[in-house]
Structure formats: structure tokens, C-alpha cells
Amino acid sequence: MASSLILSVLEGSIAFGEKTIFEDLTFHIQEGDKICLVGKNGTGKSTLMNVITGDKELDSGERWKLQGIKVGYLKQEVIPAPGQTVYDFVFEQIKADGEEALHKYKVEMIIQPLELNPDDRMDMLSGGQQRRACLARSLVEEPDILLLDEPTNHLDLDVIEWLERYLKQYRGAVLCVSHDKTFLANISDRIFWLDRGRIKVCSQGFAHFDEWSTALLEQEARELKNREKIVEQEVEWASRSPGARRKRNVRRLELMKQARDKLKSDKSAFRSMMAKIEIGELEIQGTSKIVAEFIKVDKKFVSDDGKEKPILDKFNMRMMRGDRIGLLGKNGSGKTSFLRLLVNELQPDMGKVKLARELQFSYFDQKRKDLRPDWTVQHTLCPNGGDHLKVMGKARHVCGYLKDFLFDPALVDQQVGTLSGGQKNRLMLAKVLADPKEFLILDEPTNDLDMDTLDMLEEILSQYTGTLIVVSHDRDFLDQTVTKILAFEGNGIVEGYIGGYTDYLEAQKQRKKPKAAADDKAQAKPPKKPEPAAVSKVYKKLTYKLQYELDNLPKRIERLEKEIADLEAILEDSDLYVKDKNAFHHASHRLGYAREELEEAENRWLELTEMREAAEG
């Protein structure tokens, strides 16, 4: 049975001043549609949502909505009333007469899975908790069209998975903006792609976006090439034909000029659309092979009611130079405490945390404590004055560097406090990644980021050769950036897995199968306590990221072997120390590190080869 049309926009246009946001905007929303809305920053995603709600009128065109259709909108901003409880906020717009039983049911179905206490005061909650309360409010209202703007921000992975299941069964239509690619792929069956003032519609979900969008862009490139040939022919006619300026040919000449100008504009817009930031390898001169070590570390916290909460229980772990580790776990499971122990902001109750000598950290803090709201964007990146900063040892103009992070250079003199959440996150990333140290920690870097910034960040991290720790609830981002997972299970238990998030999920499934069988056979036996902090290795089919690493290791090994040979040749000069003491010290110092890196690369190649052979065998 075909779904009914509930909202439609035909040939709409919107402009702000001289800037056109939409032209010929046409789309339709049917009952039960699950739509993902994608597009670069500034393409008008928020404006489109406001058109759907009716808060933004079209300059021209037609908007039609079926009578009685209700539209709900989860926005980014949260403005709670003083003293209002979570319960009152969530049910504020729903009539209470005779609905107490239904409200109680919705508390259990929606508020509790979102890990909220109905009796808590809204103005006492954290920003993340307030966002979850807004999400609960949007869901309990059950609108016919539900608009969601970054609904997964500040949600734990298990809550995100619950939300996916809820939205799949949701009877109304859903239109969602999110940077979480896995989330969009799991909930959507249609795509609205905003691109250069127009909307393109795909009748499949986000899982098909890359294939579909690539095909459209390739078709556009061919059409531009064909138009270019036609314009070239017309230009040649105009330049060679003496009759081109005769009265009967004036119209053709004018059309040629218009076609040439339009082609130039369209080619420029296409190049901007396809532009990619060229990132060189972020070669980090590392410390010793072992960068950090946790030795029988215990850490507990005592709550206000006197209860002890174990964070780490006799935790042992060794971090090697070049490790790429993702941290998973619910809020409060110990991830942030683990990072604070690592950077020496927190001391263990027992045990020891050893760091390599002179180890330096670059730390992206999700709370953005290093951003001062009263400083300008330029002052934040250039705190010592001037308009240039060092980016990987090279001087860059601040405006050019800001463009790399999708900033309008006009914002260079704007105060940080006036920026949006996404802009603040991008500014923090720009600050941290200008000169990343040998140990890079990113704590929830993907919150409030759009897909383009996310893709750029993944590209930068793929070129980073230092040690990396990422805390994120973005599953696709973890799959693309890390090769090991530390899962904080609570009660001091930490489990380790080789691979990204997908490998972690598969390993969890494999572990549950024998456990379920054992539980059936020995229900009377008490469960065996898991080994604390055991970092296990689960070898299975290589992920794309691991296969990519394996494919590129031979090139790295070859490069290191050549570098070592060149350094050894330099040091064969017995007079080098006398002629150039600095060159001698640099060559001998680097030779030691290069030999260690070669050994590490060779061992990693053997490890990944064994994993692949085990999976294929």
C-alpha cells in the first residue's frame, strides 16, 4: 500500500540578502519516511528544517502540509525554565488530563532508556543531559514529522543503539541531520542531499550515499566537459568569423558570452565542491618504543553516600609508540579518569603509571577548557601575536589555515564565545592539530562536527604517525581511525580487542555464544569473576583499516631501510663530528629511532600477516 503525502514543497526559493540559499527547491515527505538530510556547512540544512516547520517562509514557490499534521523539532539549543523538572519539561506540551498512566508508560519507555531521572531539575543538568531531555520531549510528543538535529551528540553507544531501534519502529516520518554515518545508515530509507542551492533526492538510505553521490558528481563532470567543448567552438567562431558581429548574429554572440560565464561559474562551484585538503604525512619524532605503562593500577571513587566505585582494578597495560587506541564505555565507566591518570592529572590509589622520558601530549578536551571565550579566533591560534602560526614546523597565515577547517576567514576577529558548538570544536581541532605532539588524545572530537569536517579529521589522523587515543561514540569514526579497542565495562573491568568498533562487536558476539551455552549447562555454578584489566587479542577477518595498514607497511619498511642506509653512510665519515657536530648528533640520534621503528614495523607486518592467514585459514 502506497504511503500518503503529508508535506510538499514545490519550486521554492530562499535568499538572505544577495546570497541565494535555495532555488527550485522541490521535495515531498510521505507517511513513515525515514530521511537523512546531508550537506556541507552553510548549505541550508537548518533553513530547510525551518521551512518544514513553517517558521521560515519561502520567497517564492509553494509549501503544502496535510491538515492536522504535527511537526516536532529537536533543535541544538536548550533553554530550560528555572526549577523545572525533567518530567515537567518532557510533558510540558502534552495535556495531562487522564494521561497519568500513559505518561508513566512513556517515562519507562523513553526517559529511562535515555538515562534521565524524571525528578531532576533541568537547570541542574549537564549540557549533554539537557540534550537527552530535549530528545525525550521530541519523542513523547509523537509528531507526524519528527525533525532531529544531531540527536546522537552526548549519547552512549547503547543509548544510540536503543534510539536506532526506536526510530525504525516509529510510525511517523523522520528527517535527521547527523554526523554519525552508522546511525544514518541504520535508520534511513531516503536521502535529501543539499548541494549548491539545490536538493537531490535518493530513494535509498544513507548506506548508498557514497555510491549514489559519486555517480552524480561523475555525471556532472562529464556534462561540464561537454559544455566546455561547445563553448570553445562558439568562442572560436566568434573570434574567427568576420560576420560574428553582424546584426543577425548578435543574439548568438550574446548567448555564447552567457554560456561562457555560466560555465565558468559552474566549474568554480564544482571545484569547490570537490576540493580536498592535501595533507602530508604527520611524521612525529617519537620517544622510546614503550611510551606508557600501567602497572597493577587501582583507582576508586567514593560517592557522596559513601559507596566506593571501582574505576580500575589491578590494571596492567603497555602502550607502544604508534598504537592507535579507541576507548569505549558508558559515561562514568572510567574513560576520563584513565586519561587523567595517563597525563598525570590524577594519581592511582595503588600501582604505578610510567611514562617515557620527556613524553609530550596534545589533548583535545571535549569540555574545551583551553578555549577562552573573550579571545578572538586569531588570538586563539596566534596567542603570541601576529597573523601567522606554525603548522607542522611551517609558517601558515591564520586565514589560510582556518579555511582548512572550513572556516570563513571573515570570522578571524570574532570572539570565541560567540561561535557555535561545531565552530568551537573545529577551532579546538585546528589548535591541537597545528603542532601535534608524539601522543595525541582526542576526547569526543566528533560532537557537533559536520561530515566534511569529520572526513577531514579522519584524513589527518590517517597521516599521523604518533601514538593516538580516541574517545568517541561514533562507530564509523572508530573503525576508520583506530586499530585497538579498550572497552570499559564498569566495576574496574577493562577488556581489549584488536581492530575497530566492528571487530569489537563481532568479538562480543563470539564471547556471548560459549557463555550462553555454559550457562545452560551449569546454572547452579556461581559465575566466574572475569580477569581484571586483561587486554585480550581477538584475531579475525581484517577490517578495511587493518588491511590498508598491512598493504602500506612494505612501503614504510622500505623507506626506513633506505633512511637507515643513508644515515649509516653519513656516519661513516670519521671527520663528521669535527666538521659538523650538530649533523653528527642528529644523524646518530635519528639512526637509533629509525632502527626501532623498522623493528616495530616488521613486527607489525608479521602480526597482521598472521591475523590475515588465521582468518583465511
pLDDT tens by residue, 242-295: 655 555 566 666 666 667 777 676 666 656 655 554 545 555 555 568 889 999
Contact present, 427 and 405 (Cβ < 8 Å): yes
pLDDT band of residue 14 (cuts 50, 70, 90) is very high
Q: Which residue has the cell 500518503?
A: 4
Of all residues in the chain, the percent with pLDDT exceeding 90 is 20
pLDDT at residue 50 tops 80: yes
What's the one-letter identity of residue 564? I
The arithmetic mean of pLDDT across residues 211-239, rounded, is 79
The pLDDT value given to residue 208 = 92
pLDDT at residue 414 tops 60: yes
Contacts of 221 (CB under 8 A, 6+ apart): 270
Mean pLDDT: which of 296-305, 351-360, 399-408, 514-523 is highest? 351-360
- Residue 42 CB burial class (10 angstroms; 0-12, 13-18, ≥19): middle
User: Phi/psi class of residue 406: alpha, beta or left (left: φ > 0; alpha: ψ in -120 to 50)?
Assistant: left
pLDDT tens by residue, 55-74: 999 999 999 999 999 998 88
- Tell me the pTM: 0.68
User: Phi/psi class of residue 440: alpha, beta or left (left: φ > 0; alpha: ψ in -120 to 50)?
Assistant: beta
pLDDT tens by residue, 305-354: 677 888 898 899 888 888 999 998 887 788 888 999 998 889 999 999 99
Q: What is the DSSP secondary-structure string of 431-499?
A: HHHTS--SEEEEESTTTT--HHHHHHHHHHHHTB-SEEEEE-S-HHHHHHH-SEEEEEEETTEEEEEES
pLDDT at residue 598 tops 90: no
The pLDDT value given to residue 538 = 40
Contact present, 144 and 151 (Cβ < 8 Å): no
User: 163 φ, ψ to 5°?
Assistant: -65, -40
The pLDDT value given to residue 92 = 80
Question: 190 versus 614: which is more confidently predicted?
Answer: 190
pLDDT tens by residue, 525-556: 554 444 434 343 443 456 656 776 788 888 88
Contact present, 149 and 74 (Cβ < 8 Å): yes
The arithmetic mean of pLDDT across residues 7-35, rounded, is 91
Q: How many CB atoms lie within 10 A of CB 353?
A: 20
The arithmetic mean of pLDDT across residues 447-453, rounded, is 77
Of all residues in the chain, the percent with pLDDT exceeding 70 is 82
Q: Which three cell numbers stand for residue 45?
A: 540544512
Q: Which three cell numbers stand for residue 228?
A: 566546455
